[in-house]
Structure 1
């Protein structure tokens, strides 16, 4: 017999499956220990959020004012820098540091972070390099602190996820538990950054968790609670955007007009979200095409941002579009900015500045720019209609809040997150109906124009797809009993030569189980037996199989088969029994494919 035939018989798994085989040293932890790790990750998420804000403040004060100071309130406009027109060089100096980090330390630190986390979850077995924590924190802090138009949430998601992955690797957890810790780290960072524990939980459920169950949700939830509680010591108990209460439906007729206007606003935000997604990646491609040197590329992009900052300061009195932009968002919520034309200008300028920052190689998130874009577009829309139909009693602030939620929903695809985050960030339930209406329409319109979100499009461009939205874990609900087949026959090893001589593939029972003295030896290679008729009868027996009971769930079955490097499982009445009388069924790739197909019929 040739060596190739011997390899096929003894090790029938594909090369891809061999490469993905589960590490035998990895062992799942019980729920109690996972709970402890989730709390630990929540603590680090809360402290990490505080430290991240302080680092941003350090770089911001150093580059804008030449001072060593950690204080920085993003909700208050940055005071004019003493450098005057020299402010245009501040983002350029930051670009040198960021480019050095992304070129020499961690390329993953470039961009907005969440796509890298998704890639690690779906294509990297939940493994993120530890160096990403430091590299992303510094690179994003420099980008934001020197005026780059990006947000804090992408970096804190990547930082929290990296820590969760590190904990999972140090404790040698299997991939499915590492993913839960990654999601807990990301959710903790979001919750602490925005003082929004429910929003952080929703973010993890919609975008990161592969398996959604009471257990995984509970672990993520305790991480968000812990992180938010710790962040209160730094940021207090107030919401991210503390604004006067709205009274949308005190007059039901006025409330109806507002709700009616949310329909065109939602449609407008859907197109704006699509434009935002496409523009970010268009700028990436444009810089890739025109610049070969990473340093020159990023310096040119940030020089343009610096010029925009100076021009806004010179002609409007504020930088407006730099950094996370929350001060401008506060202006729209407090009705300080009400000119529709200027608000539209801010929308376009922020869109351009964000494209320049991320497209040229900056590091930072897209959630905060989405809030800015939604706030300015919603404010322009609301103030415009308040001017032309004053008798309708329209409150533009309602459209600001709805605009922020709609833009987040449209660009990220996280509908539930957008609704819960905006409620937690304003603590005002009055605008909930306009928010939900706007969010739903913005999302539907965006996917009709651009099917992929701003997070998933980056991966699709690399040839890697990830699921979008929630799907029931139909496969996970199945057990070995629902997957197995009882279409098998038992052949004694002494009768194997006769079976070899008479058997034809595709005829008779689907599987042949070989036994000796009432003990199962293995399964016959039905498809190969005709090649081995002149060999020892035992050569046709595959003795590598995985034993399960009828109640063994799908995930345990698949992980066990991969750990044993086999494609075959035998279902028995008693755990570990190889007695013929205990045999209930057989599972091979054919049964698994059939079960998966049946489950897929239930999914969209």
Structure 2
């Protein structure tokens, strides 16, 4: 009646031969197809970036200078006097109208909305968001809103990628890749930073590191970077001469200090934004009016400190060139910061990267008076990238961004150290970053950590139960009754045994069928004659696992079949064992022990102690 799986079957193939069936990567030829689509997404995202910048230029000229001109201009040079206070109010009111009667999706600074769509909505974005988001952003920034264009471009580019993904027969994962490709390409085109955009995708948007997603995203970013040279201008946005100074150890210590300061500032900014958002939500009026209320504060701030209006690239260039006064620093750190917090909390449209860069640059420039000299504007670069790293939780992106924004690679050491320091402190001192706090308030949990699945590190062969109780193909109902009698005689130990399925094997050990414990008991308790074949009560073509599969693949098959036990066969179809869901859990427990158990593996022995004790 019973056979041992190892005795019935042939020996497992050699490890070297079996390992050739496994691969480092799971990518297939569809990666090339998605990369081709991503190429067009990248080109489209660069065009969107160019159009949005032209729209912002037109909006600024109309609001502040009353002329039809697409050229980019800073609103600080207006001659409207006190009437300029009302301009951001009008702009905020128009944004509220677009959001209420067009789509609420145009609100926000873009990046959290992109993350939410990718993770929780299968990368599905409504078409109207893709078209209305640039309009709302142009109205907001053109009327003096203290934002950057990069966040909305990220969302709009991602929306275009999502729309293409919705029109093509692709999986949710492939659609997410196309959306991320569009989002990252939008950033690459806006900031002329293709490599930083790829890193941003990896650190913030993809939530995986796989060729199937990395390759299309890199193609899209490279395409957007090349298209930017044709549509906008080559070269960095904030060009700086290469630093002629060597990085002394004092400069590295100073970089740590800057990282600590801006990390604390990032935490304060995040708390201030969330507190102000709660105040807006308590107002007894419709949210449509919130951007107009925020615009009033923007207008008052612009009256006090005009450079606080708009994107403010010129102010950043001044800080990086060390061409600033204490009045400029105070204006940025007090006025710009205050109106940015209030306006952002009103849920208007606009990006957060440019304001954070400006505020961080002001902190670094202010601290440069007490820090070692590294380069003109060097500490401003360190400060702006470190603040961005602490705020959005992307240290590698921000470190590379400093190089691509300035083309000053000599600052990479203090920048990397400051970004890592600020990132480490922000991770330790706050539960959520600026990008995920809003999602948390909606009741959504999003982990920013990912790593190799421990189930990918173990193959079925190493986790299966090789000693299996099975039945021959000639087994009858009578043998099932004998089995049931033994189970009842040994109860309760027998009923708590791990085996829940019973293979039916041919003479050569190959799997012919399967009986669950319930089916086996039904056969034993039936009124059928004892000579009836037992196989008639079982499953003729059961789902099986290959002993060369990983446990992750096994878990996916168990989930698809809703079975908690599956037979394992070799390449010849010979049964080698059974894998239970408990075996998958044990692999998880082993992986968890690596994170929780602390062991001292090496204990040094001092020569004097050995001489005294003789050990």
TM-score range, shorter chain: 0.7 to 0.9
Counterpart check, 1:364 vs 2:350: yes
**Cα deviation per residue 1:415-472 (whole Å; 9 max; x = unaligned)?**
1001001111111012122212211221222233223211122222223222224523
Query: Which residue of structure 2 aligns with residue 31 of structure 1?
Result: 31
Query: Which residue of structure 2 aligns with residue 461 of structure 1?
Result: 441
Counterpart check, 1:126 vs 2:123: yes
In structure 2, stretches of 5+ residues that fail to align are 1-26, 529-533, 597-615
Counterpart check, 1:512 vs 2:498: no
Q: What secondary structure sits across from 1:489 in the alignment?
A: coil
Distance 1:535 1:126 in 2: 56
Distance 1:153 1:603 in 2: 38
**Shift of the alpha carbon at 1:561?**
4.9
**In the alignment, which of 294, 310, 329 is matched to residue 323 of structure 1?**
310
**Shift of the alpha carbon at 1:48?**
2.0
**Cα deviation per residue 1:267-322 (whole Å; 9 max; x = unaligned)?**
1111011111111111111111234321332211111111111222xxxxxx2122
**Shift of the alpha carbon at 1:192?**
1.2
Aligned Cα root-mean-square deviation (Å): 3.3
**Shift of the alpha carbon at 1:511?**
2.7
Contact between 1:280 and 1:355, CA under 8 Å: does it hold in 2?
Answer: yes
Query: Which residue of structure 2 aligns with residue 593 of structure 1?
Result: 585
Q: What secondary structure sits across from 1:150 in the alignment?
A: coil
Structure number with bigger Rg: 2
Query: Which residue of structure 2 aligns with residue 316 of structure 1?
Result: none
Query: Which residue of structure 2 aligns with residue 22 of structure 1?
Result: none
**In the alignment, which of 170, 177, 181 is matched to residue 178 of structure 2?**
181
**Shift of the alpha carbon at 1:352?**
1.3
TM-score (norm 2): 0.81
**Shift of the alpha carbon at 1:478?**
4.7
Note the 1:437-456 alignment, pairs <5 A. 437-456=417-436
Note the 1:571-582 alignment, pairs <5 A. 571-574=568-571, 582=574
Distance 2:550 2:161 in 1: 26
Greater alpha carbon shift after TM alignment, 458-467 vs 234-243 = 458-467
Contact between 2:145 and 2:310, CA under 8 Å: does it hold in 1?
Answer: yes
Contact between 2:502 and 2:516, CA under 8 Å: does it hold in 1?
Answer: yes
**Shift of the alpha carbon at 1:97?**
2.4
Contact between 1:493 and 1:514, CA under 8 Å: does it hold in 2?
Answer: no
Note the 1:140-539 alignment, pairs <5 A. 140-249=137-246, 255-312=248-305, 319-339=306-326, 342-382=328-368, 384-385=369-370, 393=373, 395=375, 397-469=377-449, 471-482=451-462, 484-486=464-466, 488-491=468-471, 494=477, 495-496=479-480, 499=483, 503=487, 506-515=495-504, 520-524=512-516
Distance 1:476 1:165 in 2: 30
Residues 569, 190 of structure 1: alpha-carbon distance in 2 compared, 3 angstrom cutoff: farther
Distance 1:56 1:481 in 2: 61
Contact between 1:489 and 1:511, CA under 8 Å: does it hold in 2?
Answer: no
Distance 1:361 1:528 in 2: 63
Contact between 1:291 and 1:297, CA under 8 Å: does it hold in 2?
Answer: no
Contact between 2:565 and 2:580, CA under 8 Å: does it hold in 1?
Answer: yes
**Shift of the alpha carbon at 1:560?**
4.9
**Shift of the alpha carbon at 1:498?**
5.1
Aligned residues: 553
**Shift of the alpha carbon at 1:406?**
0.6
Q: What secondary structure sits across from 2:216 in the alignment?
A: helix
**Shift of the alpha carbon at 1:529?**
6.4
Distance 1:297 1:345 in 2: 24
Counterpart check, 1:137 vs 2:130: no
Distance 1:496 1:55 in 2: 79
Distance 2:442 2:527 in 1: 48
In structure 1, stretches of 5+ residues that fail to align are 1-26, 313-318, 387-391
Q: What secondary structure sits across from 1:320 in the alignment?
A: helix
Distance 1:501 1:535 in 2: 16
Distance 2:418 2:309 in 1: 27
Residues 284, 546 of structure 1: alpha-carbon distance in 2 compared, 3 angstrom cutoff: farther
